[in-house]
Chain A
Amino acid sequence: MLLLLVSFFNPYAGIAGLVATVIAISVSHFTGLNKAFIQKGNYSYNALIIGIGMGAIYNFSIAFWILLTFIIIFSVILSVVFQNILGKYGLPFLTIPFVLCFLLVLLVTNVFEAIDFTYRNIYWMNDAYAIGSSYLVKLIMYFDRLEMPALLSTFFKALSSLYFQNNVLAGMIIALGVLIHSRIIFSLIIIGFLTAYTFNNIVMAHPEGMNYYLIGGNFILISVAIGGFFIIPSLHSYIWAVVSVPITFIIVMALGRITGQWGLPVFSMPFCIVLLSFLYFFSLKIQKGRVVATPLQLYSPEKNLYNYLNNKERLQNINHIRLQLPFIGKWMVSQGYDGNITHKGDWSKALDFIIVDQELKTYKNYALHVEDFYCYNKPVLAPADGFVQQIDDYIDDNAIGKINQQKNWGNTIVIKHAEGLYTKMSHLKKHSFKVKVGDFVKQGDVIAACGNSGRSPEPHLHFQVQTTPYIGSKTFIYPLSYFVSENNGKEIVQEFSIPQETAIVNNINHNPTLKQAFEFLPGFNLTVNAEGMEENKWEVFTDAYNNSYFYCHTTKSFAYFKRNETVFYFTSFDGDKYSLLYHFYIACYKIYLATEPAVAALDKFPLQLSKNTLSKWLQDFIAPFYIFSRLHFESLNKVVSNDFLNPSVSISTKQVLQFLSF
């Protein structure tokens, strides 16, 4: 709102900008361009700046409006053209259409006699009188004459030039608006400005070579774009932001020399050149993780950063094929990854499982026979859906204490879950296989029984993940999706991790009620009520990329979610922060579809959801370098009624803002 106010300091510019936008949108619709892009303003933002620019420097006349119309049409065409050329490289087209169109305008208006420059800019006080009486003029004059260091006044004027203004008050309002909108942008503006100022002091450019517009439109913008907008804000992005300013400075000066021949300014062309080359450079060269291009533009560096960090932590396993433990009930990891019995060399990333009793014994009676061992002949399950790739089923069980080094894997099954993802289970019991090569198995199907064949002195189950389909392939580090792990009598749920040696582990028992309650299929309609709030209508949709989301028809909000066999969780929310859907998003951020063990589901929100303004602002300023606060989420399911046919479960959730230092 503040920024909008500023642009109407010059009402003519504002009107022309508005008209230009309307024209651009109409043209886009008329030609049938992508509606989503039109709605996002992809084809009209260049038109808006052209409109503002032209409105600010020309007198309104019939010829002016006709010229504006055709220039805007051309800007839409250029937008589409550059969008497609640069889009192939994953680059934005920025304000290239504006720069080109405006250069055109400036060049032709010299020869179009019907269009003449306005003197409003010179007598801008008249306008100010017209809009806001003498008080406004006095106010503006007051700030312009306010005693302040040249550095500050230059800074504010440079900012105001972003909106084709040239006064301190507008700059201050913009600065305030930016500060409220984004602390990161604010810091980058200052960094950009100071770098340019310092560089200028060193190289000492001719004073006439510099103007406020060049500072605002290029140096400040490039700093913001590289430091926090197109790149996820970080120490690296800030360093590159500083580097980008002198380079832009050089290009501004160099290009200015060329365009100056025809009396033309360079506008934001240097900004476009530097930004595009930097972004393309980053996408090619820089080590992954140091400089990260904003994956989904949320138009706020804070949101971009917090969402990026949050997603990196939460959603990194979203596309993993989920493997479960290949057995029923509680088993113990007798040898983990890099175990010192046999998990060595190429075969080090494997897991051995056995069953133990309360005294951690693996057998009953005197352990003379394989049948005395608890795990012997117990069902072995498919860890995930897949095709049976290979089976060896001809090796006899060893007597206890003996091993078979000829056929060291024993009876074995290899299942193919995807290209390059296989699981292998070994030492199985001869003739216990329930499937044959080529069969499709579903996750949890019984495939064989635990045995004592191969290099196995006592019955146990060997499990490994591998990237090639052979028995004997080397192992591959790959996590199990969700499982319960018991260590020292305490049960925890582990997610996408590797069970540790001596942990007692089991698959999560899903609660049918919760599974059913969180089954939201596309087309599902809900009418939602809450005390003191109006009734909302929600519908579940699935988009072209197979992402499911709730859409609230009442408040036009979106909440994207995922649901697998173990967890329901939201991935993002967009829309009204006071809607019921937002409350649902916050309350059901992550829910285990299970009640045993009674363990809380833990998660973290992106920090922009924090309600504590003071800590949030502090955090925003230093967020690119250090995150000191966390917004925790916790949900706990409690069985209210044990009725196994019709059980009811209550879910309680809470959010906690935590500071590391306190």
Chain B
Amino acid sequence: MSKLKYERPLIKKLNAGMMNKFGAQSECTPVTHIDGVSVKSIIQKYGSPVFVLSEQKMRQNYKSAVRAFSTRYPKVQFAWSYKTHYNNAVCRVFHQEGSWGEVVSGFEYRKALSNGVPGSNIIFNGPDKHAEEIKLAIENDSLIHIDHFEELYLLIDLCAQLDKKARVAIRVNMDTGIYPMWDRFGFNYENGQAWQALNKIVESGKLQLVGLHSHIGTYMLSTAAYGVAASKLCDLAMNSKSQLHTTIKYIDLGGGFPSANTLKGSYGNVPTPSVDEFAEVITTTILNYGFKTEDLPLLILESGRVLIDDAGYLLGSVLANKKLSDGRKATIMDFGVNIMFTSFWYDHKISPAQEVSQFNEDTVLYGPLCMNIDIVRESVNLPLLNRGDHVVVHKVGAYNMTQWMQFIAMRPNIVLIDTNNETHIIRQAETLDYLEQLEVIPEHLQKK
């Protein structure tokens, strides 16, 4: 018989029966395997902390999102949002599934090209596109989504220089009844700027107006807002056909669908609308708008988060336990906000990775940084963990691996579990050499 695991003593208020605000206390179910691979073996092989991505889950998410739209609308195209996760292996999974690329900077644009996305299947968004990048996009027949008039004029000039018609769409912002209104991006619908921009594009004769784009916000919990957005874009498309004699080939409703994470400040698990519910509102709006069946525009979606968030896990280990001044328990983990940026937004679900005691304790989870802001969870009900125990943080696939920082600690390995349950490193842990590669020491400081 092996030695029993040490459990430190604890005093707990008796909680009989009813659910409390911590829900059904499901966080205690240990997660020992991810896609059939044991957490322990992953940490043994790739160290701790380590990010793990499930290829199977990504493909499943993609297929079910496509099914939600393509069983409701005849022409649907997804474009993988590079900023959500631009690791090449990840992007290629989605491109293999048939996704285009949606990029918001020059380097993302080049990444998409090098991942084999045809230029014409790359959507170039964002308020800061440089002239050289725009030129590249024009030459590759990419879809350039114009954000402001200055960019529009620049595009007209560049097209004149290159003697080539750029394929453009405008980004439209609008009141969809939600707060905050993202009116800093693109042209406003209500004040007529969007219509003015469309007029200028068509009149210039230098640009080919092909689409309309909007992206009303992120982590949207209201489906109705997408209905309003779709209907306003349809209105612009109709007017553009009747008044500007230009057929809008596609309507791009951006992304912003929420994953099943819990936003900070929400009470318990607020159910988020599913992709199906968004699809229902969007497609019904367009189908009912009055387009002829053969003239229906292509519907583009730039979803990122909803396709990858729950395919990403962060595995970490306990460094120490503490008692705080007010008597609360605190646990220090080997991962912090430097690599888990989304802990500012969400109360991430965290599960122990091994058999644990049945007793839970309200704990503060800290990261390893010597900075006061490094709090992973302000209050989480966790069983009693000891140094060296492993935990699994759920739904960290989106944004973390693009917004992470190299601060105090360096960025760890990213591991992909493929559909055959084999593990692959898709980004190596950083090293000092890597960190210092770009550093230059001026001559006068070189003397030791």
Q: Which residues of A contact B (CB under 8 A)?
A: 327-331, 355, 357-358, 364, 374-375, 377-379, 434, 442, 444-446, 509, 641-646
Contact = CB atoms under 8 A, between A and B. Distances in A.
A374 B64 CA distance: 10
Given A379-B72, A644-B298, A329 B67 contact: yes
A357 B72 contact: no
Given A445-B293, A446-B287, A643-B141, A355 B298 contact: no
Nearest to A446: B287
Interface string B51-73: 00000000010011001001111
A328 B121 contact: no
B72 A328 contact: yes
A643 B73 contact: no
Closest 3 CB pairs of A and B: A329-B71, A643-B120, A329-B70
B251 interface: no
B135 interface: no
B155 to A, nearest CB: 17
Contacts of A327: 71
B167 interface: yes
A384 to B, nearest CB: 13
21 contacts: A328-B70, A329-B67, A329-B70, A330-B70, A330-B71, A355-B67, A355-B71, A357-B64, A364-B274, A374-B67, A374-B71, A378-B71, A434-B288, A444-B293, A445-B293, A446-B287, A642-B118, A642-B120, A643-B118, A645-B120, A645-B167
Interface string B272-300: 00101000100100011000011000100
A327 B283 CA distance: 14
Given A357-B64, A377-B280, A445-B293, A642 B70 contact: no
Contact of A442 (B77, B121, B293): B293
B300 to A, nearest CB: 10
A35 B110 CA distance: 68
Interface centre among A327, A329, A377, A646 (most CB of B within 10 A): A329
A379 B64 contact: no
A377 B118 CA distance: 36
Nearest to A442: B293
B74 interface: yes
Nearest to B60: A358
Given A328-B74, A379-B287, 6 more contacts: A330-B71, A358-B60, A377-B280, A442-B293, A644-B77, A644-B249
Nearest to B287: A446
Contacts of A374: 67, 71, 276
Contacts of A328: 70-74
Q: Is the interface of A mostly helix, strand, loop or mixed?
A: loop
B272 to A, nearest CB: 13
A227 B210 CA distance: 64
A58 to B, nearest CB: 72
Contacts of B280: 377
Nearest to A327: B71
A509 B77 CA distance: 13
A644 B298 CA distance: 10
Contacts of B293: 442, 444-445
Contacts of A357: 63-64, 67
Interface of B: 60, 63-64, 67, 70-74, 77, 118, 120-121, 141, 167, 210, 249, 274, 276, 280, 283, 287-288, 293-294, 298
B277 to A, nearest CB: 9
A378 B287 CA distance: 12
A641 B118 contact: yes
Nearest to A512: B294
Contacts of B276: 364, 374
B382 to A, nearest CB: 28
Nearest to B77: A644
A641 B294 CA distance: 22
Contacts of B64: 357-358
Contacts of B71: 327-331, 355, 374-375, 378
B220 to A, nearest CB: 20
Contacts of A641: 118, 120
A364 B273 CA distance: 13
A501 to B, nearest CB: 20
A641 B283 CA distance: 28
B287 A330 contact: no
A646 B141 CA distance: 10
Contacts of A645: 120, 141, 167, 210, 249
A103 B77 CA distance: 80
A375 B293 CA distance: 21
Interface centre among A355, A434, A644 (most CB of B within 10 A): A644
A329 B72 contact: yes
Nearest to A355: B71
Contacts of A331: 71
Contacts of B73: 328, 379
B310 to A, nearest CB: 14
Nearest to A377: B280
A364 B283 CA distance: 20
Contacts of A646: 120, 141
Interface centre among B71, B120, B167, B298 (most CB of A within 10 A): B71
Contacts of B294: 444
B121 A644 contact: yes
Contact of A330 (B67, B120, B141): B67
B236 to A, nearest CB: 19
Contacts of B167: 645
Nearest to B141: A643
B306 to A, nearest CB: 14
Contacts of A379: 72-73, 283, 287
A102 to B, nearest CB: 64
Contact of A644 (B67, B120, B283, B287): B120
Contacts of A509: 74
Contacts of B287: 379, 446
Contacts of B63: 357-358
A378 B298 contact: no
B109 to A, nearest CB: 17
A329 B63 CA distance: 12
A613 B441 CA distance: 84
A509 B274 CA distance: 27
Nearest to B120: A643
A377 B277 CA distance: 11
A641 B74 CA distance: 21
Nearest to A378: B71
Contacts of A446: 287
Contacts of A329: 67, 70-72
Given A445-B293, A645-B210, A378 B72 contact: yes
Nearest to A382: B293
A377 B141 CA distance: 38
A154 B64 CA distance: 81
A506 to B, nearest CB: 9
A495 to B, nearest CB: 21
B121 A642 contact: yes
A327 B141 CA distance: 33
A643 B141 CA distance: 8
Contacts of B288: 434
A327 B287 CA distance: 13
Nearest to A565: B294
A446 B296 CA distance: 12
A355 B68 CA distance: 10
A356 B72 CA distance: 14
A480 to B, nearest CB: 17
